Structure 1
Amino acid sequence: MSDNQSKNLDQIINEMVDVVEHSKDEIYEITEQSRNEYDVLSKQIEEIRVEVKQLIESGDQLAYKEKLARNRLAKVSENFSVYSEDEIRDAYEQTHAIQSDLKMTREREKSLRQRRDYIERRLKSLEQMIEKGNTLVSKVSVISNYLNDDFKNISDLIEDANQKQSFGLQIIEAQEEERRRISREIHDGPAQMLANILLRADLVDRTFRERSRKEAMEEMKSMRQMVRSSLYEVRRIIYDLRPMALDDLGLLPTIRKYLSNVEDYHKISIELSERGEFTSLQSKYEVALFRLIQESVQNAMKHAKPSLVQVKIEIKSNQVTVVICDNGIGFDLEQKKDKSFGLIGMRERVEMLDGELKIDSKLGKGTTIYIKIPLTD
């Protein structure tokens, strides 16, 4: 193994360790945020329970007063000639005021009960999320220790470039498996919770609509839009981590869906051209091709500011060819060379499959990425 190959492998392992450590920190931060939210909601629900109890007692007292007031009003109504006009007016106004207070108290009690029920459901979801977060932190710590203890000097144990390629593929497969698992975790957690919040917003919306509070209605509509945007972002993150459609539908349908989502989100035009038969591709090729296209398109969205992106895929009996072209601002290849982790990762992924990657870009002229990967049994 050459010194450059050894350095490249050590670099990949170091970057993996950094990613794992960063992921552990992010999971820990999310868990701590969930725990803090749990503490805040726990205090809120105790306060709500106290207030509900007070409202029930106050409502019972008002109900008793309302009964007395109605009796007095009935008595006054039956004997108009006995009571003065002021006394009659006072009886009506007093009864109406007590009835209004009673109605407002009951509505407040109902609203607090609904809020209490929502917080109780939210607390249960947070308990599950905290438990999952603690479990994930423990597992990621084990992975981190394994990488630090056993993989740091792996270059000394690999005898030739073929062993390096095999090891690299195993690393990528492990990463994909981890992404698949994290994707399911997020899908069953934050995405579902955001959906529940949306349903809750609709319920609040209807409540305020019945009370004819126009300004509050506008605020609720804005809230619903924010929640929908948040839900879209969570699902987009899930799709970036591991598109489950890759396992269920195959490479091309997944790429079509991904490009369609990018097109809608960034409001640009993306053209996909495909030739050949894709049904027999092995999983390692499907994952690699999807990630390469994903990284290329994401780089274009982040840096190139294009209005058009073209993706061409052609499969033959012995190789797959992919071309990703954009009409963005382009970049200087000499300045970008060996400084972009994204491009380095793409080159490593292509080289592990004995493929070729070429990038053609000039400032103001857009960027074109050529990828060729041979197919072997």
Structure 2
Amino acid sequence: MGQNIDPSRSLEKILEKTVEVLAESKKEIFTIAESIRREYDNIKRELDLINEEINEVVAKVDKLQEVNRIARIRLMEVSRDFEKHSEYDIKYAYQQAEDTSVQIAVLREKEEQLKKRRAELENRLINLKRNIEKAENMVSRVGVVHDYLLGELSNLSEQFDDLRQKQQLAIKIIQAQEDERKRVAREIHDGPAQSIANLVFRVELAQKLMDKDLKKARNELEDVKELVRLSMQEVRKIIYDLRPMSLDDLGLIPTLRRYINKFNEQTKIIIDFNILGPKRRLPNTYEITIFRLIQEGLNNIYKHSKASTGTVTLEYTPEQINILISDDGIGFKPEEVGANKFGLVSMRERCELLGGKLDLFSEKNKGTKIKITLPIKQRGGKDEADKGISS
């Protein structure tokens, strides 16, 4: 006889695995934050050394200026009464004044280069500090989810009705998390990690050139500055892919406008963005879900539709949010959408998690339309969106 399996226990194991994955993710994000913090400390130490070197250069310039002043006074004296002085005295006075002037010029040039380097390092410290704060915020958010799921493990059997469906969904969530972690790890390894390693080498090279060839050192530092800029772009892209920070700062509508404008520029597919009804801020769960749904819908248009134009319509009503994503592409037969069409399957599952519905309309050579309905749950006479801040 087959072995009876308790669905509640199976789901409990899945959530235990999810909690474990979240704990590992928290550790990995913390490791990234610590790596950035170490880089911050290294740059801080380098900045302290540069400040010390600038102070030393300034002190040397002050001393040389005093020597130069005395030398020029002496030169004026021997020049005024040159009959009373030997040719050696005149030449010595002139040479001393000239030598100190050259040394002062060289030191001032070195001081200027050190100050430029200091400004670059100070900007890097500001950017790294922001990244540390974002990483720490991310650790905190993952920790909240982890603690919440950990507390829910004790009463799973009372919280879920359709256990088999939830079990499959939990497996997909875990797989999606693993895939996302691999993607982020790969992007960090191939992008910022490589760039930072290269930066260390290039900075060391520039330091060696400072005392030998200032022109080459300046050129090297210009290359380093460009490399830092590109690295920051890669880091911002990774952070944006994890979660668009503008959702918290600006809200859903500005974030979607920015994303769609960038999509139009990069893909040359013209997407028209329309908003109907009185717009308002929604709970974070709704805003990130709506953003991901539209993001996935546009991604499908770009990858599969061969469309030249499309439309995204977002409608606010008192009881629900309606989304329409359409394109003028080659279309397909809806019955062909199966487990291998993970993009559409993922969109439908996101909708169902919020009690919503996704309808698909498509024909060969007649484009595709995706209609999404997300109900706003009622609580105490007010919908959940009332908790948001009006945009």
TM-score where L is the length of structure 1: 0.59
Residues 13, 151 of structure 1: 8 Å contact kept: no
CA RMSD of aligned residues (A): 5.5
1:159 Cα deviation after fit: 5.4
Aligned to 1:34: 36
1:70 Cα deviation after fit: 1.1
The answer to which of 37-46 and 119-128 deviates more is 119-128
Aligned to 2:60: 58
* 1:70 counterpart = 2:109: no
Letter in 1 for 2:296: E
Aligned to 1:311: 312
1:102 Cα deviation after fit: 1.1
Query: Could you list the runs of 5+ residues in structure 1 that have no partner in the other structure?
Result: 169-212
* 1:99 counterpart = 2:101: yes
1:73 Cα deviation after fit: 1.7
In the aligned structure 1, how far is the partner of 2:75 from the partner of 2:294? 79
Letter in 2 for 1:69: A
| Matched ranges for 1:72-221 at <5 A | 72-81=74-83, 91-109=93-111, 111-112=113-114, 115-116=117-118, 119=121, 137=139, 140-141=142-143, 143-144=145-146, 146-147=148-149, 149-151=150-152, 155-158=156-159, 160=161
In the aligned structure 2, how far is the partner of 1:375 from the partner of 1:361? 27
* SS in structure 2 at match of 1:160: coil
Cα deviation code 1:87-133 (max 9, x no counterpart): 75664454233212113213423543565577578668867865885
Aligned to 1:277: 277
Aligned to 2:326: 325
Query: Could you list the runs of 5+ residues in structure 2 that have no partner in the other structure?
Result: 170-214, 379-391
Residues 326, 368 of structure 1: 8 Å contact kept: yes
Aligned to 1:193: none
In the aligned structure 1, how far is the partner of 2:222 from the partner of 2:50? 22
* SS in structure 1 at match of 2:277: coil
Identity, % of aligned pairs?
33
Residues 314, 322 of structure 2: 8 Å contact kept: yes
* SS in structure 1 at match of 2:324: strand
In the aligned structure 1, how far is the partner of 2:110 from the partner of 2:77? 31
Letter in 2 for 1:24: K
* SS in structure 1 at match of 2:39: helix
1:239/1:104 Cα in 2 relative to 1: closer, same or farther (>3 Å)? same
In the aligned structure 2, how far is the partner of 1:93 from the partner of 1:305? 78
Residues 252, 278 of structure 1: 8 Å contact kept: no
1:350/1:135 Cα in 2 relative to 1: closer, same or farther (>3 Å)? closer
Cα deviation code 1:280-325 (max 9, x no counterpart): 7964765543432133224545776765332234567776543323
Aligned to 1:262: 263
Residues 350, 357 of structure 1: 8 Å contact kept: yes
1:304/1:83 Cα in 2 relative to 1: closer, same or farther (>3 Å)? farther
* SS in structure 1 at match of 2:108: helix
Residues 319, 373 of structure 1: 8 Å contact kept: yes
In the aligned structure 1, how far is the partner of 2:280 from the partner of 2:63? 76
In the aligned structure 2, how far is the partner of 1:135 from the partner of 1:287? 17
1:358 Cα deviation after fit: 3.6
Residues 247, 287 of structure 2: 8 Å contact kept: no
The answer to which of 284-293 and 126-135 deviates more is 126-135
In the aligned structure 2, how far is the partner of 1:305 from the partner of 1:104? 62
In the aligned structure 2, how far is the partner of 1:282 from the partner of 1:47? 50
Aligned to 1:295: 296
Letter in 2 for 1:74: M
Letter in 2 for 1:262: F
Letter in 1 for 2:99: A
Residues 306, 329 of structure 1: 8 Å contact kept: yes
1:219/1:141 Cα in 2 relative to 1: closer, same or farther (>3 Å)? closer
In the aligned structure 2, how far is the partner of 1:153 from the partner of 1:21? 18
Residues 324, 369 of structure 2: 8 Å contact kept: yes
Aligned residues: 325
In the aligned structure 1, how far is the partner of 2:70 from the partner of 2:31? 58
Residues 358, 372 of structure 2: 8 Å contact kept: yes
